[in-house]
Amino acid sequence: MVAKSTRYKYYQPNKKDLKDEYGDCVIRALCKVTGKEWLEVFDELIPYVREVQANPNAPQVYSKYLEDQGFKWVGIKAQKGKSRPTVATMYKVFPKGTCIIRVAHHVVAMVDGVYYDTWDSGGKSVYGYYVKE
């Protein structure tokens, strides 16, 4: 069994998802980094969803939304012989401030070195993150 990270905090802004089953990680993370309510973020994503014709969790959708909100993408390249940072170790890369971390098929919000999710995703390898410019 993997130990729970002390940098993880449970976060669920979707008041209708009582069992954490909705798969709305993008909206949850955006709520955390923008301070907006779940329905407000959902409604703001609709024009992007229509333009791209993909669901809100598609990187093409949330990347454009984040760009328009003043975020920039910082990619983390895999280096031969080295492991990528994990969500739990991202505080070493990004100790202060607010970002959205992208891992395989998931995104996670991080604020001042603490990551927020409905489950402890700390062991996931990081592909990059969005940070407010």
Mean pLDDT by 10 residues, the chain (133 residues): 75 93 95 97 97 95 96 92 92 91 96 96 96 86
Please tell me the predicted confidence (pLDDT) of residue 18. Answer: 87
Alpha helices in the chain (DSSP H): 25-34, 38-52, 59-68, 90-93
Please tell me the predicted confidence (pLDDT) of residue 6. Answer: 83
Residues 6+ apart with CB under 8 A from 70: 132, 133
Q: How much is the pTM?
A: 0.91
